[in-house]
Structure 1
Amino acid sequence: MFSNYELSLAFIGGGNMASALGAGLIGKRCGANDVHVIDIDEATRERWAAQGVGTAAAPGPELSGQKVWIFAVKPQVMKETVAACRPYLKPDTLVISIAAGIDSATLARWLGTPDAPWTRLVRCMPNTPSLVKAGISGLLALDGVLDTDRTVAQQLLKAVGEVVWVDNDDQLDAVTALSGSGPAYVFLFLEALIAGGEKLGLSAEQSRALALATLNGATQLAGLSPESPATLRERVTSKGGTTAAALSVFEQQGFTPMVHDAMQAAYNRASELAREFSK
């Protein structure tokens, strides 16, 4: 449980990310009876209800009793969902949004009014490894967020991985470009490694096992070593050796600038989406 904080949660949207958070919290940091889930899908509600969680197909007065609201719906329906929930907001409600593409100013306006935006709000960008409790989330707190709120938000998201706080929406867009979209970059590299192994004569099973273990091991080594990734790379690379030959091709093909260009494209698109959804 959270010390000195009566934790009661509402998941507004009960899909994959909400389920991952619920699995990390229920029975460990809160009870099933402390959780309320709103989702239009009956099968989703049934899965939550099987855990002893209260459910509803639409927002209702029960929301007023939940101290923390976690919006986990698609950005396309976020505005109407917020409008349906807004009558049940209380002054001590902490709102956390994991909806992508909607900036904090827009969320604050939808939850409050243009003249009095709701600022007890944390915007969050998690990533898909959160589904196996190996994620990392960027968090942005607005001015109305209390120290206790920050602690609660951090502990909630730590149930599915690590947490990094940022100062503004631009930085959260950068989080989106790095860790939010980053798993797809890794999966693409994995695909290439596996296909490359097969092309060199390994079976699909051999290539997959080798590629997965290599990325997993290299990432663990980088995380545990006091040395920088650059130093670790140099230690693997003997002059005139096989690794040097491979890295030379990456360098000739502009690997690092390509990665940076890809991240810039993701960052730009995040900013575009924020403008589109703010209308």
Structure 2
Amino acid sequence: MQKLYFLGGGNMCQAIVSGLIKTPRFDITVIESHADKRQYLQDAYGVAVAESLPSLHAEDVLLLAVKPQDMAQALSDARSNGALILSIAAGLDTQTLAAMAGNERVIRIMPNTPAQVGLGVAGLYAPAHIAQSDKDIATQIMQSVGAVHWLDVETQMHAITGVSGSGPAYVFYLLEALAQAAQQQGFDVETARELSLATFKGAVTLAEQSGLPFAQLQQNVTSKGGTTFAAISALEAAQVAQGIEQGVAACVARSEEMQQQLSQA
């Protein structure tokens, strides 16, 4: 069984581990500096834990799950010895990661938080020299917690960060807005939450099953002069769609800025 080491035992590490243990394929060890978290990881997921990373072998896999600003320090004593390195850290490109790890066998991954319930979306990028077998390993790991999309060029990591990496936050923002609007119309907090969740879930399921363009689905429930028409007209007047576009663009720009800052650090 192939050894898979997680460097950092935070939420995204736990999400991926929770998917992997359902169909055991890897011998998992989580490296975590905090003793209480190591105990929790061992109890909750039944995986091995350790305080520091051992010397690795070329057939091993190391998944980097520490904060970008802490990566250089976390890898300062690492001996990867040609092991496959996967990184879920935002803003650190493959060239910078390879320099930090002393190993060019690096694949980048941009996951998102719905991985915690097996419905994540992950964007992956590998430089041209990475073997297909290594890409297959990365695919297998991330498919355990959701969908996988391979990117052609590394700069697309910024775009997928703006769309799906940070995307759940946009959905939660809209859920909160709809729930607040429901409360303004007289519903209590719990009912407003239930109505908002059910409405989003039903709409997404309908969109998935119908296969129709999103715009067409909207038009199907927007009769001219009707109640939905009034609502959509108000949203258009408030330029909600343009606001979402601007939000995604701001996220992409910040991702690009972070990469520049981290590569110069």
Identify whether the pair has TM-score above 0.5, normalized to the shorter chain. Answer: yes
Tell me the distance in 1 between the aligned counterparts of 2:238 and 2:77.
51
Alignment RMSD, CA only?
1.5
Residues 224 and 27 of structure 1, relative CA distance in 2, 3 Å threshold: closer
Match of 2:125 in 1: 140
Distance 2:86 2:251 in 1: 23
Q: Any idea what SS the aligned residue of 2:155 has?
A: helix
Q: Report whether the alignment pairs 1:42 with 2:35.
A: yes
2:249 & 2:192 partners in 1: Cα distance?
A: 31
Instruction: Specify the SS of the correspondent of 1:138.
Output: strand
Are the counterparts in 1 of residues 109 and 123 from structure 2 also a CA contact under 8 Å?
yes
Structure 2: how far apart are the matches of 1:21 and 1:151?
A: 16
User: 1:144, 1:108 → 2: CA distance?
Assistant: 13
Residues 58, 84 of structure 2: 8 Å contact kept: no
Q: Are residues 1:14 and 2:6 paired?
A: no
Task: Measure, in 1, the Cα distance between the counterparts of 2:62 and 2:179.
Answer: 42
Identity %: 39
Task: Give how far 1:94 is off.
Answer: 1.1
Equivalent-residue separation in structure 1 for 2:71 and 2:60 (angstroms): 20
Q: Which runs of 4+ in 1 moved over 4 A?
A: none
TM-score after normalising by structure 2: 0.94
1:60 is displaced (CA, Å) by 2.4
Which residue does 2:96 correspond to in 1? 106
Q: Secondary structure at the match of 2:124?
A: strand
> Are residue 71 (structure 1) and residue 61 (structure 2) matched?
no
Q: Is residue 82 of structure 2 the alignment partner of residue 97 of structure 1?
A: no
Distance in 2 (alpha carbons) for counterparts of 1:69 and 1:150: 14
- Counterpart in the other structure of 1:23: 18
AA aligned to 2:163 is L
Provide Cα deviations, 1:34-89, integer angstroms capped at 9, x if missing partner.
1121111111211233344332212223x33761110000111101112221xx22
Aligned-partner SS, 1:193: helix
- Check whether the contact 2:59–2:84 (CA below 8 A) recurs between aligned residues: no
Q: By how many angstroms is 1:26 displaced?
A: 1.9
Query: TM-score with structure 1 length normalisation?
Result: 0.90
* 1:119/1:143 contact within 8 Å kept: no
Provide closer, same or farther for how the CA distance between residues 148 and 58 of structure 1 changes in structure 2, counting only shifts above 3 A: same
Instruction: Structure 1: state its 5+ residue gaps.
Output: 1-5, 113-117
Point out where structure 2 has 5 or more consecutive residues left out of the alignment: none
- Number of aligned positions between the proteins: 263
2:77 is aligned with 1:54: no
Q: Is the 8 A contact 1:138 1:172 kept in 2?
A: yes
Distance, in Å, in 2 between the alignment partners of 1:169 and 1:147 is: 17
Inter-CA distance 254–105: structure 2 relative to 1 (3 Å threshold):
same
- Tell me which residue corresponds to 2:160: 175
- Residue 191 (1) aligns with residue 176 (2): yes
Q: CA separation in 1, counterparts of 2:224 and 2:195?
A: 24
Matched AA of 1:144: H
Instruction: Find the residue that maps to 1:59 and give its secondary structure.
Output: coil
